[in-house]
Amino acid sequence: MRIIALFILVLPAILATYGIKLMRDAFFGELTPFFFHIVIQFIAGLGLFVGGLVFIAGFILHRDRKRKLTKGEKNNRYSS
Protein backbone atom coordinates (compact mmCIF):
# COMPACT_ATOMS: atom_id res chain seq x y z
CA MET A 1 0.00 0.00 0.00
CA ARG A 2 2.86 2.39 0.75
CA ILE A 3 4.38 1.64 -2.66
CA ILE A 4 1.20 2.87 -4.34
CA ALA A 5 1.21 6.03 -2.21
CA LEU A 6 4.87 6.62 -3.07
CA PHE A 7 4.11 6.20 -6.78
CA ILE A 8 1.20 8.64 -6.50
CA LEU A 9 3.56 11.26 -5.05
CA VAL A 10 6.56 10.55 -7.29
CA LEU A 11 4.65 10.75 -10.59
CA PRO A 12 3.59 14.43 -10.16
CA ALA A 13 7.12 15.27 -9.02
CA ILE A 14 8.54 13.74 -12.21
CA LEU A 15 5.99 15.63 -14.33
CA ALA A 16 6.85 18.90 -12.56
CA THR A 17 10.54 18.26 -13.18
CA TYR A 18 9.85 17.62 -16.86
CA GLY A 19 7.85 20.86 -16.93
CA ILE A 20 10.87 22.75 -15.60
CA LYS A 21 13.00 21.15 -18.32
CA LEU A 22 10.52 22.19 -21.02
CA MET A 23 10.45 25.78 -19.74
CA ARG A 24 14.25 25.91 -19.60
CA ASP A 25 14.56 24.55 -23.13
CA ALA A 26 12.00 27.05 -24.41
CA PHE A 27 13.84 29.89 -22.67
CA PHE A 28 17.11 28.93 -24.36
CA GLY A 29 15.43 28.30 -27.73
CA GLU A 30 15.67 24.51 -27.94
CA LEU A 31 12.48 23.16 -29.48
CA THR A 32 11.35 19.69 -28.49
CA PRO A 33 10.11 17.74 -31.57
CA PHE A 34 6.76 17.08 -29.89
CA PHE A 35 5.83 20.79 -29.91
CA PHE A 36 5.55 22.98 -33.00
CA HIS A 37 6.23 26.35 -31.35
CA ILE A 38 8.42 27.48 -28.46
CA VAL A 39 5.63 29.44 -26.77
CA ILE A 40 3.41 26.35 -26.67
CA GLN A 41 6.31 24.35 -25.25
CA PHE A 42 6.79 26.93 -22.49
CA ILE A 43 3.06 26.98 -21.66
CA ALA A 44 2.95 23.17 -21.53
CA GLY A 45 6.00 23.15 -19.24
CA LEU A 46 4.43 25.78 -17.01
CA GLY A 47 1.23 23.73 -16.84
CA LEU A 48 3.11 20.57 -15.90
CA PHE A 49 5.13 22.39 -13.26
CA VAL A 50 2.15 24.15 -11.67
CA GLY A 51 0.01 20.99 -11.87
CA GLY A 52 2.62 18.87 -10.10
CA LEU A 53 3.24 21.53 -7.49
CA VAL A 54 -0.47 21.97 -6.77
CA PHE A 55 -1.00 18.21 -6.49
CA ILE A 56 1.83 17.77 -3.99
CA ALA A 57 0.76 20.85 -2.00
CA GLY A 58 -2.83 19.61 -1.92
CA PHE A 59 -1.69 16.22 -0.70
CA ILE A 60 0.34 17.78 2.12
CA LEU A 61 -2.55 20.08 3.09
CA HIS A 62 -5.00 17.16 3.08
CA ARG A 63 -2.65 15.10 5.26
CA ASP A 64 -2.16 17.97 7.73
CA ARG A 65 -5.89 18.65 7.97
CA LYS A 66 -6.51 14.95 8.54
CA ARG A 67 -4.01 14.97 11.42
CA LYS A 68 -5.36 18.32 12.66
CA LEU A 69 -2.06 20.18 12.26
CA THR A 70 -3.39 23.25 10.43
CA LYS A 71 -3.99 26.55 12.16
CA GLY A 72 -7.46 27.98 12.58
CA GLU A 73 -9.08 24.96 14.15
CA LYS A 74 -10.31 24.90 17.75
CA ASN A 75 -8.62 21.62 18.60
CA ASN A 76 -5.20 22.60 17.38
CA ARG A 77 -2.27 21.10 19.29
CA TYR A 78 -0.34 24.40 19.09
CA SER A 79 -3.04 26.54 20.66
CA SER A 80 -2.73 27.47 24.32
pLDDT (tens digit, 9 = 90+) per residue, 6-58? 888 899 999 999 999 999 999 999 999 999 999 999 999 999 999 999 999 99
Please tell me the predicted confidence (pLDDT) of residue 79. 54
Euclidean distance between CA atoms 65 and 14, whole angstroms: 25
Euclidean distance between CA atoms 75 and 80, whole angstroms: 10
Neighbour-count burial for 38-73, b at 16+ CB within 10 Å, e otherwise? beebbebbeebbeebeebeeeeeeeeeeeeeeeeee
Q: pLDDT class for 76, splitting at 50, 70, 90?
A: low
